[in-house]
Amino acid sequence: MDTTQRTEQQRSADRRRRELLEAADRVVLRDGPQASMNAIAAEAGITKPILYRHFGDKGGLYAALAKRHTDALLDSLRAALDAPAERRERVEATLDTYLAAIEARPQVYRFLMHPSEGGQGVDQGFDVGKHSAPLLRRMGEELAQVIEDRLDLGPESQRLARVWGHGIVGMMHAAGDWWLGERPCSRAELVRSLADLLWGRLAAAGDKIGGPGF
């Protein structure tokens, strides 16, 4: 098999994988944590063994969907952080971007972060926490890098940026999870309250010379 044929086969496989993930997305949007492998296979017009062939197991499908949605969310968060605005406005925009994402697609959020209540979903048979925790860690590391690149935090900049990155992500996740379930206030009110909580040393930190600011 020559290089051209291999490349075309890879493109075809990538396209098919993308189509299967889009089918899985549709089922998750409809069923949330109850989304089953059978339903996803039916939506894609294939048998369940073929679905397993593409993703290995239920955990593999979950991980592929998680990466798909996490990549999109991180792109949105970076755009909010780099928008031309005052620092407080960018912080609020970043918080709002995260909350707007989970509010717009609550079924997807619950699928990624919560086990199936009825035990019939795609996550039956594996520990969702084991798979969702790396998503939060990845977001924490990404935010830590943004903070380190944009703020002058002194000689312990890297360590402090990682503490803040993971701490802010943990805050967003915990507060957002609580808010999505109870809706005790508007999204705007929650954003302002969380920004107030952050507005201590973060407000006083100096921007790095020549950097885009944060």
Top pLDDT among 25 and 134 is at: 25
Selection from 31, 54, 42, 56 nearest residue 121 by Cα: 31
Instruction: Give the class (CATH, top level) of 57-207.
Output: mainly alpha
Work out the pLDDT band at 123, boundaries 50, 70, 90.
very low
The CA distances from residue 49 to 33, 37, 55, 58, 61, in Å, are 21, 10, 10, 11, 13
Type of residue numbered 98: Y
pLDDT digits (tens, 9 = 90+) for 188-208: 999 999 999 888 766 666 666
Type of residue numbered 74: L
Selection from 44, 37, 56, 46 nearest residue 18 by Cα: 44
Compute the radius of gyration of the chain from its Cα atoms.
20
Place of tokens 């609550």: 106
pLDDT digits (tens, 9 = 90+) for 142-163: 889 988 888 888 888 999 999 9
Domains of the chain, by residue range, sit at 57-207
Residues in the chain: 214
> What is the predicted pLDDT for the residue at 212?
56
Question: Does pTM top 0.75 for this prediction?
Answer: yes
Average pLDDT over residues 46-56: 89
Q: What is the DSSP string of 99-152?
A: HHHHHH-HHHHHHHHS--TTS-STTTTS-HHHHHHHHHHHHHHHHHHHHHHHEE
Output b/e per residue, 2-24; b: 16+ Cβ within 10 A.
eeeeeeeeeeeeeeeeeebbebb
Place of tokens 């959020």: 109
In this model, does residue 29 exceed pLDDT 50? yes
Work out the pLDDT band at 118, boundaries 50, 70, 90.
very low
Top pLDDT among 70 and 208 is at: 70
In this model, does residue 75 exceed pLDDT 60? yes
Work out the pLDDT band at 61, boundaries 50, 70, 90.
confident
In this model, does residue 17 exceed pLDDT 80? yes
> What is the predicted pLDDT for the residue at 30?
92
CA 184 and chain centroid, separation: 23
CA distance 123 to 60: 10
Selection from 98, 104, 103, 106 nearest residue 77 by Cα: 98
